[in-house]
Amino acid sequence: MVKETVIKTVNLNCRYGALQVLKDLNLEIHRNEIFGIIGPANSGKTTFLRALNRLNFLNASYSQDGEIFFADKNLKNICDNILRKRIGIIFALPQVLPVSIYNNIAYGPKVHGIAKKDAIEQIVEESLKKASLWDEVKDRLDSPAMKLSGGQQQRLCIARTLAVEPDVILYDEHCSGLDPISTAKIEDAMQQLKETYTQILVTNNTKQAARVSERCAFFLMGELIELDETAALFTEPKDKRTDDYITGRFG
Amino acid sequence: MHRRISEYIIESLIRLSGFLVIAFVFLIFLFLLRDSLSLFKEYKIGEFLFGRNWLPISEPPKFGIVPLFLGSIYVTAGAIVICVPVGIAAAMFIAEVAPTFLKNILKSLIEILAAIPSVVLGFIGIVWLSPYLKQTMGLSTGMCGLTGSLLLAFMALPTIISISEDALVGVPRAYKEAAFGLGATRWQALWRIVLPAASPGIIAGVMLGIGRVIGETMVVMMVTGNSPVVPTSILQPLRTLTATIAGEMGETVSGSEHYFALFAVGLVLFIITFIINFIADSCLRRARK
Ligand SMILES: Nc1ncnc2c1ncn2[C@@H]1O[C@H](COP(=O)(O)OP(=O)(O)O)[C@@H](O)[C@H]1O
Ligand SMILES: [Mg+2]
C-alpha cells in the first residue's frame, strides 16, 4: 500500500535569534497515521510542531529556512489562518478560553464564518462526541469551561480543534499534566479519531508513544536521530542514543 | 523580641492610617450632610431637587438644582461619548498593534498628558478651541457644553488608556495562542477573545476616567459659559455642579441659605462620585478574580 504524504519537511532549520533549534530536518508524515515524536526536553519538539502551523512566527526572534509542504503545497503559499484551521494544535496546558463550554467550541466555527445557530449547535455536539466528552458535559454546556477538570479541559480543547474541521492535529505533550485515567480517556479518543485525521503526538512519556503511535521519531538537540515503525524503534533501535533514551539511561 | 515590638508598631500604624482614611471620608460626608440639612430647614428638599431655576440672589432666592445637574450630565455624557471609544481604541493600538518603540513613545506621551494642569487646558479652550468651534460650527458662542466635553474627554483619556492598556496586556498569552491556533486572524482574536477577557479592567478604567470628568471644576468653569439655565443642547452655554460651587462660594455669606445650598450641591456631587467609584471598584475586583 502506498502511503499518501500529508506533511513533508525539506532541510528545515529553525532558529530563535542565533540559537539553532532544529537542524536540517527531513521527514514525511502520512495520512491518517499517529506519528509519535519523543526526545528529551529542549530537543526542539515543540518548535517542530509550531513550525507546522506557523505559530512560531508569533515570536519576533524566530526565523526558519528550508521548506515545509502541506498536501503538496508550500506553507509559504498558504494563508496563516487557513493553514491553522487545517492543522490544529493541542497545547501542553489546556488553554480553555474564559467562556462557557459551548462558546469555547463555537468560537472556531464562528471565526470561520459559520453564523447559523443550529449549524453551530450541531458542530458543538458532534465535536464533543468525537472528543468523548459529550456525555460528561451535555447538561451543562453553559457553565464556565474553567470549572472542568484538567482532563476534561484537555478533551474540550480537542473538541474545539475538531470543530473547525482540521486535517491534521498536533498534540504537544498534551497529557503531561494529567492522571493515568484521564490520559487513557484521551488516548481512546485519539484512536477514534484515527480514521479521519492525521495526528502528530509529541510526548515526554516514551510509553505513551509506544502505546499510541504507529511510527515514531526520536529528536535530540534539534536533530532527527532515528525514525521507524514504532514497534521496531522500541524493540531494536539502530542508534545507540535512541537506545539510551528509551531505556532511560539519559535525558 | 525587639522584632516583635517593631512589627507590632508598624502594623498598628498601617492599620491606623487605614482607619483614618475611612474616618476622613465619613467625616466629609457628615459635614456635607449637616450643612445641607441646614438648608432643608428653610428650603423644601423637593424644590431643591426638582426646581428648574437656580437664582440664588433673586428675591426670594431659588435653589433648583436641575439646570446644574443637567449641565453636568450634558458635559459629562458628551465627554464620555468622545473619550471612551477613542481611549479604548488607543489602548488596543498600544497594547496589540504598535511596534515597541512607538509603544514606548506613546506611553510616555500619555503620562505627560496626564500631568497637564487643568487650568492650562482651560486656557487652551478659551483662546483656541472655543473660537474654533464657534467658527466651524456657526455657534453664537464657543463657550458651550461641547467645548467643555472635548477638554474633559482629553483629561480622561490618560486614565482610560493606561488602565485599559494594562488590562489588555494582562490577558494571558495562552488565550491569544488558542485563538490563533484555531485560525483566527489578529483582529478576530483581539475582538472576540482579548477584549472580552480584558473587559472588567477596561470598564474600571472607563469608570475612573468618568469619575475624573464629573469631579473636574476648573476647565468647565473656564469654558462652558457659566449660565445656569436648563440646557436643551450641548451646543449651548451651561453650568455644572462643580463650577457652581467654585464660582459662587466666594460671594456667599457664611451661614446663609445660599451658603448651605452650595453644600447641598456638594453633597449631590459626593454621592454621584461615590457611586461611580463604587462601580469601578467592583469591576476591578471582578477583574482580579
Ligand atoms: N520562544 C523562545 N525563544 C527563545 N528560545 C526558545 C523559545 N522557545 C524555545 N526555545 C529554545 O529552543 C530550544 C527547543 O525548545 P523546544 O522546541 O521547546 O523543545 P522541546 O519541546 O523539545 O522541549 C530550547 O533550547 C529552548 O530554550
Ligand atoms: Mg516542548
Residue B61, pLDDT > 60, answer yes
Tell me whether residues B174 and A161 touch, CB distance under 8 A: no
Which residues crowd ion ligand 2, with CB under 5 Å? A 46
Residue A251, pLDDT > 60, answer no
Q: Who's near A247: CB < 8 A, 6+ residues apart? A: none
In Å, how far is A243's CA from the nearest CA of chain B?
34
Kindly give the number of the ligand 1 atom that is closest to the alpha carbon of A61.
3
- Chain A hits for B196, CB-CB cut-off 8 Å, are 98-99
Please name the residue of chain B whose CA is at the shortest distance from the CA of residue A164: B182
What is residue A16's three-state secondary structure? strand
Residue B134, pLDDT > 60, answer yes
CA gap B241, B239 in Å, rounded: 7
Given pLDDT bands bounded at 50, 70 and 90, which one contains residue A3?
Answer: confident
What is residue A36's three-state secondary structure? strand
A172 alpha carbon to ligand 2 midpoint, in Å?
7
A92 touching B (Cβ < 8 Å): no
A185 touching B (Cβ < 8 Å): no
Average pLDDT over residues B37-54: 91
Q: What φ, ψ does residue A15 adopt, rounded to 5°?
A: -135, 145
> Do the Cβ atoms of A222 and A20 come closer than 8 Å?
yes
Site of grid cell 459529550: A134
ipTM: 0.90
A53 touching B (Cβ < 8 Å): yes
B183 closest CB neighbour out of A58, A93, A111: A111
Kindly give the number of the ligand 1 atom that is closest to the alpha carbon of A41.
23
In Å, how far is B196's CA from the nearest CA of chain A?
9
What is residue A133's three-state secondary structure? coil
Beta-bridge partner residues of A100: A144
Tell me whether residues A108 and B175 touch, CB distance under 8 A: no
Q: Which residues line ligand 1 (CB under 6 A)?
A: A 16, 19, 21, 39, 41-47, 59, 61
Residue B200, pLDDT > 60, answer yes
pLDDT attached to residue A83: 95
Residue B212, pLDDT > 90, answer no
Report how far apart the first and last C-alpha atoms of chain B are (Å, whole number).
38
pLDDT attached to residue A156: 95
pLDDT attached to residue B281: 81
- Chain B hits for A157, CB-CB cut-off 8 Å, are 178
Given pLDDT bands bounded at 50, 70 and 90, which one contains residue A248?
Answer: confident
Segment A59-105, tens digit of pLDDT: 989 999 999 999 999 999 999 999 999 999 999 999 999 999 999 99
Please name the residue of chain B whose CA is at the shortest distance from the CA of residue A56: B177
pLDDT attached to residue A127: 95
Q: Name the grid cell of A101.
A: 463550554
Question: Chain-wide mean pLDDT for chain B?
Answer: 91
CA gap B259, B32 in Å, rounded: 12
Question: Smallest Cα–Cα separation from B179: which of B169, B164, B166, B194?
Answer: B194
A111 touching B (Cβ < 8 Å): yes
Question: Smallest Cα–Cα separation from A47: which of A66, A29, A63?
Answer: A63
pLDDT attached to residue A1: 60
DSSP secondary structure letter of residue B57: T
Segment B228-277, tens digit of pLDDT: 989 889 999 999 999 999 999 988 988 899 999 999 999 999 998 888 88
pTM: 0.81
Segment A138-188, tens digit of pLDDT: 999 999 999 999 999 999 999 999 999 999 999 999 998 888 998 998 999
In Å, how far is B276's CA from the nearest CA of chain A?
27
Please give the CATH superfamily to which domain A5-246 belongs: P-loop containing nucleotide triphosphate hydrolases (3.40.50.300)
Q: Count the Cβ atoms, other than its own, within 10 Å of residue B132.
A: 13
